[in-house]
Amino acid sequence: MTIPECQAEVLAGLKSENHPSAGWYETRYAPAEQGYWAPLVHWADSLLLSIDSVLDVGAAYGTLIVYVVSRFEPKRRVIVDAYRNLSKSIAERYHLDYLDIDVERDDLPGGKFDLVLFTEVLEHLNFSPIPTLRKIRDALSDSGVLMLTTPDAQSWGRRYVHYDSWEEMPIASRESPPRIDGHIWHYSEEELAKIFELSGLSVLKFERSTSVGGKHLCYLLTRKPEAQ
């Protein structure tokens, strides 16, 4: 399936349920979303490893995981997301195990994954990104890869509403205040280099993509050897 075909299926699922986000997805999100993560599609197409398991952390409406499932036919297909925007019919049709999990406060499901998707989520994290990225790193199989995208601070501008630096962000706990839904921090390429190092991740590939809002930082990552 192509990305437009996946989008058509996602939209049909939303409309079949009279989902409140169907109109938004059709008119605003679907036309823009490829700009967030365009490089990931050709990275996925060129992967030489077998994908038997996929985890999508923050799947939004599900376009990318539908593409990955149609492309690789993995046996294990898991979504963790505190916001259920993906239609039930798509989850059922593609046999997606949808778990209502807050990736910052909760444990990820057990087992290892050959591919983890983490697109346009990092900027929404309310707390230090390092513990969350370490959780994801630990969920990767020995040859597993993480595909991550986030707005480029150089293009989108800084967000100083909540913090003056990402290093001020506290560690998440169950006693932490309720989640703020929005962009909390926009990261630079230099900041992410440090964060990935501290999280035990190595960059395999990097590209910038362009959406209506600006540039996005797109990464293909794997576990650092010493983090195996």
For 120-139, the pLDDT digits (tens) are: 999 999 999 999 999 999 99
pLDDT score of 47: 86
pLDDT score of 50: 86
pLDDT score of 227: 54
195-212 tens-digit pLDDT: 999 999 999 999 999 999
Chain-centroid distance of CA 21 in Å reads 19
Arithmetic mean of pLDDT, 52-72: 96
Backbone angles phi, psi at 102, to 5 degrees: -90, 105
The pTM assigned to this predicted structure is 0.95
Outline where the chain has alpha helix (H).
3-16, 22-24, 30-46, 63-72, 88-93, 129-139, 153-156, 189-199
4-39 tens-digit pLDDT: 999 999 999 999 999 999 999 999 999 999 999 999
Alpha-carbon span 137 to 35, nearest angstrom? 25
pLDDT score of 198: 97
pLDDT score of 13: 96
Outline where 49-202 has alpha helix (H).
63-72, 88-93, 129-139, 153-156, 189-199
CATH H-level superfamily of 3-227: Vaccinia Virus protein VP39 (3.40.50.150)
Q: What's at 153, amino acid-wise?
A: A
Alpha-carbon span 188 to 150, nearest angstrom? 9
pLDDT score of 141: 96
